[in-house]
Amino acid sequence: MKRLFLCAVALTVCLNFVSAQSTQPCLVQQYNQKSMKTPLPGVEVMASNAGSTVSDKDGKLTLTFRTLKPGDKVKLISAKKAGFELFNAEAVEQWNISRDQTSFTLVLVKKDYFDKLKAKLTETSTESYQRKYEQAIRELEQQKKAGKLKEEEFNRKYDALEDQYQIQLSNLDNYIDQFARIDLSEVSAEEQQILEMVEAGRIDEAVKAYEELDISGKLRQARESKKALEEAKARIEAEKARQEEAIRELKARQEREIATLKLAGGKENYDKIGRILKENALADTTDVAEVWEYAYFAQCQRDYEEAERFWLICLHGDNSIYRQATLWNNLGTIYMFQGEYTQAEEALLKALELRSRLYAEYPDALRYDMATTQLNLGYLYDEIRDYEKAEEYYLQSLDNYTQLFVQDPDTYRANLADIQLNLGALYRAARHDNDKAEIYYLQALENYKLSFDQDPDAYRERLARIQSNLGILYRSRRDYAQAEEYFLQSLENRTLLYKQNPDAYRSDLVRTQNYLASLYNARQDYPRAIEYLDKTIAVMPEEANNYDTKGEILLKMGDESGALEMWKKVLELDPDFLSRFKDGTDLYNGLKQKGLIK
């Protein structure tokens, strides 16, 4: 048993040892002077901690380090092949095990070529040193002979020259080795000619040729240019920072301006808000936040054409799954409001698919988004009278909103009310279950009231909608007192919305006024019915139906001439109006009695 345990320990140690290994690919090449380097097989490479490996026919090999890891320093012991020696020694000294498996390159050179090159360079350089030394001695002797140097100064300069010469000679081997390792295949043709002068012993010509290239001057200019660019970049960055700070400050001021415009209300002020936000978006359409803000504003103002245009800009400018899902959801609601139900379904199902992928990973973070898209799909199927699907998505949405509401009532109260409102409408209109509809409506009303108390501007429209729906429900039950109460509450809110933005809320205002006119007509309170019809006509004078309804009520009140005037107005606005009615209608009979039709 003890033996088995020891074996297990040994195996564990072995496995740990293997797991600690790291590898480094290498490529071994032959230096061919000005020609391209070629793969060199048969080179035995030995590195500390990795043993030895031989390059294959393509010059490739892999070093396997026992304990070293990526980033650690590599110590090359040798790279051997008969007749060759290492050429790029300085580069090899900088090796560290690559973290991304980038190959090391080992370059070897034929030893006989390399030895001859260094011997030639030694001869050329030694001769050049000797000439320069002898010339300097002659100049000293001439200065002494001309009386320009005293004996003591001559001796001091002579000794200094001798010392300098000996120091230079002591380092000559290193200079020669460094020069011999210049890779001719990596230098320009211009420099290759200069380096060939050196190899040919024309070293003074090479020095002059380098001077004519003025490399130091060009290098200085390059460094100065780089410094100038860095300074310019620093100035640009500083200016950019100042501009960003200015943008933040101006944006904050603009937001305060917009807040003031909202408080002022009226179509002209909301038009100003739209122009401001649109200018922000068009100033830089790559700034998704600004484009997004204007698209959202346009959609809230029911300018669906403009909203669609800018949502599509966002769609093509932001590829995150989260934003894509939100954009498809927003586009889906636009298509739905425009009556483009096929496009709406495609967009909303795309949003649901994307959000489902995210929801599977992050259910808590994506619950609200899922609930929103489910609610929109419920509303879509409700519109196209696919009530089974509508109920299915409404209830899925309700489940998610309920969970969110339990966690944070203040944040999700209005969202819960939205789904309660739509479920109430479904059960009232499609299922004819007024009792169930009333339960959901009253729940929605309570939640909207609480949300409205916190932020009237944000929730006034939705509060008006539930009040209107409750009015319709109680009217259908002939509970006219309750119906009147809710219609009047809805009218008050919709009147305020209409004053802020007439184009967006005209139809809602007229609808509520018509509900009240119809309610008073049913209660035979004809003067009040006429009162609300007149209000409707004042807001929407071009609608023939309002004059027709008023004519019918006037006829009931015994005002035949008044009714006749209304019906004349109907025919002025819509000559084809009469053709849509059969014999026996009040309009038809009234006009026939007065001899206006046969």
Instruction: Say if CB 466 and CB 445 are below 8 A apart.
Output: yes
Q: What is the pLDDT of residues 40-68, one digit of tens each?
A: 999 999 999 998 899 999 999 999 999 99
pLDDT tops 90 at residue 131: no
Outline where DSSP puts E strands in 267-415. Answer: none
**DSSP reduced 3-state for 36:** strand
- Helical (H) or strand (E) element with 32: strand 22-32
Tokens for 24? 């480094």
Question: Smallest Cα–Cα separation from 311: which of 260, 360, 264, 347?
Answer: 347
Name the token pair of 176: 């020669």
Q: How many CA atoms lie within 13 A of 207 on its CB side?
A: 6
Least confident of 18-22, 289-293, 495-499: 18-22
SS3 assignment, position 287 = coil
475 vs 21, which has greater pLDDT? 475
Q: Which of 362, 353, 371, 456 is nearest to 412 (CA)?
A: 371
Which residue, among 279, 350, 341, 345, has the nearest Cα to 315 in the 3D structure? 350
pLDDT tens digits, 278-312: 888 888 888 888 888 888 888 888 888 888 898 88
Q: How far is CA 60 from CA 23, 77, 372, in A?
A: 13, 18, 60
What mean pLDDT value characterizes the chain?
87
Cα separations in angstroms, 195 against 33, 117, 200, 207: 11, 12, 9, 10
CA dist., res. 363 & res. 353, Å (int):
14
Task: Give mean pLDDT, residues 333-349.
Answer: 93
388 alpha carbon, distance to own chain's centre: 38
CATH superfamily of 324-454: Tetratricopeptide repeat domain (1.25.40.10)
| Percent residues over pLDDT 70 in the chain | 93
> Could you state, in order of their start, the residue ranges of all structural domains in the chain?
17-112, 116-216, 324-454
DSSP codes of every residue in 427-496: HHHTS--HHHHHHHHHHHHHHHHHHHHH-HHHHHHHHHHHHHHHHHHHHHTT-HHHHHHHHHHHHHHHHH
- Give pLDDT tens digits for 562-572: 888 888 888 88
What's the start-to-end Cα distance of the chain, in Å? 118
pLDDT at residue 61, as a whole number: 93
On whether the CB atoms of residues 71 and 96 are closer than 8 A, the answer is yes
327 compared with 8, residue with greater pLDDT: 327
Contact (CB, 8 A) for 421 and 466: yes
Strands 104-110 and 22-32: parallel
d(CA 191, CA 213): 10
Which residue do the tokens 């031989």 mark? 54
17-112 CATH: 2.60.40.10
Mean pLDDT value of segment 517-545: 92
Q: Exposed (0-12), middle (13-18) or buried (19+): which is 486, by Cβ within 10 Å?
A: buried
Cβ atoms of 344 and 377 closer than 8 Å: no
Query: Two tokens at 497?
Result: 């919305």
Residue recorded with tokens 């043709």: 189
Confidence (pLDDT) at 578: 65
Is it the case that residue 414 has pLDDT exceeding 70? yes
**E strand or H helix that includes residue 45:** strand 44-47
- Indicate the angle between helix axes 480-500 and 456-476, nearest 10 degrees: 150
Q: What is the DSSP letter of 96?
A: B
Q: Which residues contact 480 (CB under 8 A, 6 or more apart)?
A: 474, 519, 522, 523
Beta pairing partners, 60: 27
d(CA 501, CA 303): 12
State yes or no: pLDDT of 450 exceeds 60.
yes
